[in-house]
């Protein structure tokens, strides 16, 4: 079994996938779209990745505000969740993604990636952090 992790943004979706033992998350790609509302190709690509990797569950970053409230981005994320469930037939779990982009940016700084290049990778790395957080949660539940 594998789990797909997604960082859903207005123009991109960062994608990560777990290993078969559900221990680690690895980055896969960033799906880019020209217009925020045009999601058909994005959903089609995610569906392809589900088949390619044998994914059985999807974890979708849920962008709550720092004070734990839900804003407009949460509503768009819930709508995207419903589209994913309908398209793939898989369970989609919403996972709190607060500070994942900050953590991704900090990781890239530590790796020495120049500021102008960080934007190219931040969504994929954020997807890794989202998925890894969920995998760690699962591991702790099993104890």
Q: pLDDT tens, position by position, for the chain (143 residues)?
A: 999 999 998 889 999 999 999 999 999 999 999 887 789 999 999 999 999 999 999 999 998 777 777 788 889 999 999 999 999 999 999 998 866 666 666 675 676 766 666 566 677 888 998 999 999 999 988 77
Annotate the chain with DSSP letters as a single string.
-EEEEEEE-SSEEEEEEE-TTS--EEEEEEEE-SSTT--HHHHHHHHHHHHHHTEEEEEEEE---TTS---HHHHHHHHHHHHHHHHH-SEEEEEE-TTHHHHHHHHHHHHT--HHHHHHHHHHHHHHHHHHHHHHHHHHHH-
Q: Which domains does the chain have, with CATH numbers?
A: 2-142 (3.30.420.140)
């Amino acid at each position: 079994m594998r789990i797909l992790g997604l960082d859903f943004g207005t123009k991109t979706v960062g994608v990560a996938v777990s290993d078969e033992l559900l221990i680690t998350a690895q980055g896969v790609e960033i799906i880019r779209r020209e217009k925020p509302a045009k999601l058909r190709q994005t959903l089609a690509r995610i569906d392809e990745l589900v088949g390619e990797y044998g994914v059985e569950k999807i974890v979708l970053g849920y962008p709550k505000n720092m004070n734990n409230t839900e804003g407009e981005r949460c509503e768009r994320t819930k709508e995207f969740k419903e589209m994913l469930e309908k398209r793939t037939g898989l369970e989609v779990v919403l996972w709190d993604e607060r500070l994942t982009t900050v953590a991704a940016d900090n990781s890239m700084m530590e790796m020495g990636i120049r500021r102008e290049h960080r934007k190219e990778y931040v969504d994929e790395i954020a997807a890794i952090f989202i998925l890894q957080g969920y995998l760690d949660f699962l591991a702790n539940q099993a104890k």
